Structure 1
Amino acid sequence: MHPLNSVVDSLSVSVVVYRPDVRRLMLTLESLVAAYTVLRETHPAITLDVFLVDNGGLPDMAAAFRALNVPGASWWIIAGQGNVGYGRGHNLAIERATARYHLILNPDIDVGRQALVRAVEFLDAHSQVGLLVPRIGNDDGDIQYLCRQYPTLLDLFVRGFLPVPFRRFFARRLARYEMRDVINERDIVWDPPIVSGCFMLYRTTVLKQLAGFDPRYFLYFEDYDLSLRTHEVARVAYLPAVRVLHHGGGAARKGFAHIRMFISSAYKFFNRFGWKWL
């Protein structure tokens, strides 16, 4: 079941879950609704479609949706496909999306109350921008440097797997990779090469032109791939006035299965875009 009519003044959101922490998911959805409520104050006609893609293990959310119900918002569950992976899960929602803008959102994000209104106003004013990404904070509120230069294998190893005390030997290298010289709390950054998939606000036309995520990635690097392909058709903007908090962790902290998926996806990524070792 999905919306049938394209709506100009509209926003859709996709969230992919697999055996989710329901409490954490609800906090994410509550923050999304709060930000949408603020957006409605300046855009009273704007509608919201939230697609919750169940890759497995999602409990009955009917009561939760009733509690989250606000004017203009509709909730949709996409289920029955099994665990098809992160990118393919979002693609199921992207195929159904008819809104002007589409937000790819992780279930471990707290959306700032002013985030949507600032993001939509920026996109409305900059027609050349096809993808907007926010200032991303961690649990302590410190900035996460999730805009990236094109990676080398050494960058990925140091950033993803090297124990923190040893990373100081590669501080200058990591700073370059994480674009610490330009990513800050104040300045708009135009066209960062790679951005994080935890919050990607697209013009839906651009996202559909790209056919969403490459389904060959089960998990990891699908956002790297999509970022690079986006530059071929539209501009990308980092807008620090849009703020979110990210509660996620890296592959190395999630066990061997995630490390294996990380390595597999990295191989596919470098095979497609080119290998850089050091």
Structure 2
Amino acid sequence: MSALPVASTDMLSVSIVLYKPDLPKLAVTLRALCKACERLRVVDANKGINLILIDNGHVPDLSQFADELAAAGIRHTFLSGHGNVGYGRGHNLALGRIVSQYHLVLNPDIDLDSEALVRAIDFLDTHPEAGLLTPWIGDERGEQQYLCRRVPSVLDLLVRGFLPLNFRKTFASRIARYEMRDVINGTDVVRNPPIVSGCFMFFRTKVFAQLGGFDPRYFLYFEDYDLSLRVHDVAEVVYVPFVRVIHFGGNASRKGFAHIRMFGASAVKFFNRFGWKWL
């Protein structure tokens, strides 16, 4: 894939880690990103936008998207040859290649509202205390996913991730508290939710860089929990519901034993760092 000339400082950089991507979903993500960037450039045609695609393995030819990205004013770089280094370390590969005001950590299964980037930048431009923005996140039916979280206990993770639906009703109030359903909704800005989802993390680049990105000790899962909690040490985290995206992802328990094993290994790393809370 070709690239546009490099700008000295970009308004926005975006990193997407790819491993055996679902091409139709990735196409939705890239085309939605193009539309959101086109809208951003209507507001200011001089906004530089830099997309970094990180090939963690088994990525098909993406040259079909080159013209669309270029037409939206998006420069793009394709990083490959490093192997499957994991989700967080993959995104960290972008750190040395970005010179931007804002950086978006984006999953390859996200459909962005066309106004998402304009609204995210407008919010951070007017709220200098905020260093990380998380959006309203919907599922494939357009229903809200509650991906802001309080710090979990081991029981919260077991119930939320692995308990069959028939038995989960017993713990409904506990799950609701963990998922912050008492404060997260479609209208109210919420300051400093403890943990936010890694599927769409909109940073001030200086905050992302100051923290060194994701902790590379997590191969997959809990890297966003860890980074969310560390952001609170240097800036505010803000849930902004008028920034909207749709997330097509699933949870670890539906992806087989390998994912369950990775989930467990990362959970141990998380609790070792932030303290074990069983109940």
Q: TM-score range by the shorter chain?
A: over 0.9
Superposition map of 1:195-210 within 5 A: 195-210=196-211
In 2, Cα distance between equivalents of 1:65 and 1:223:
30
The CA deviation at 1:5 is 5.6
Q: State percent identity of aligned pairs.
A: 60
Contact 1:17–1:54 (Cα < 8 Å) also in 2: yes
The CA deviation at 1:71 is 4.7
SS of residue matched to 1:53 = strand
Contact 1:3–1:96 (Cα < 8 Å) also in 2: no
The answer to which of 15-24 and 129-138 deviates more is 15-24
Contact 1:2–1:76 (Cα < 8 Å) also in 2: no
Tell me the residue number matched to 2:220: 219
Which residue identity is paired with 1:214?
D
Tell me the residue number matched to 1:128: 129
Q: How many residues align?
A: 277
Superposition map of 1:6-85 within 5 A: 6-7=8-9, 10-85=11-86
SS of residue matched to 2:41 = helix
The CA deviation at 1:69 is 2.2
Superposition map of 1:140-155 within 5 A: 140-155=141-156
Compared with structure 1, are the counterparts of its residues 43 and 67 closer, same or farther at alpha carbon in structure 2 (3 Å cutoff)?
closer
Which residue identity is paired with 1:230?
V
In 2, Cα distance between equivalents of 1:193 and 1:244:
20
The CA deviation at 1:170 is 0.4
Tell me the residue number matched to 1:238: 239
RMSD (Å) for aligned C-alpha atoms: 1.4
In 2, Cα distance between equivalents of 1:66 and 1:164:
45
In 1, Cα distance between equivalents of 2:73 and 2:192:
33
Deviation string, structure 1 residues 38-64 (Cα, Å, up to 9, x no partner): 111112211111101000011122232
Which residue identity is paired with 1:113?
S
User: Structure 2 regions of 5+ residues with no counterpart?
Assistant: none
SS of residue matched to 1:69 = helix
Matching of residue 100 in structure 1 with residue 101 in structure 2: yes
User: Structure 1 regions of 5+ residues with no counterpart?
Assistant: none
The CA deviation at 1:66 is 2.1
Compared with structure 1, are the counterparts of its residues 149 and 2 closer, same or farther at alpha carbon in structure 2 (3 Å cutoff)?
farther
TM-score, normalised to structure 2's length?
A: 0.96
TM-score, normalised to structure 1's length?
A: 0.97
Compared with structure 1, are the counterparts of its residues 188 and 38 closer, same or farther at alpha carbon in structure 2 (3 Å cutoff)?
same
Contact 2:7–2:48 (Cα < 8 Å) also in 1: no
Q: List structure 1 runs of 4+ shifted beyond 3 angstroms.
A: 1-6
In 2, Cα distance between equivalents of 1:67 and 1:205:
29
In 2, Cα distance between equivalents of 1:66 and 1:3:
15
Matching of residue 264 in structure 1 with residue 278 in structure 2: no
Superposition map of 1:184-199 within 5 A: 184-199=185-200
In 2, Cα distance between equivalents of 1:5 and 1:115:
23
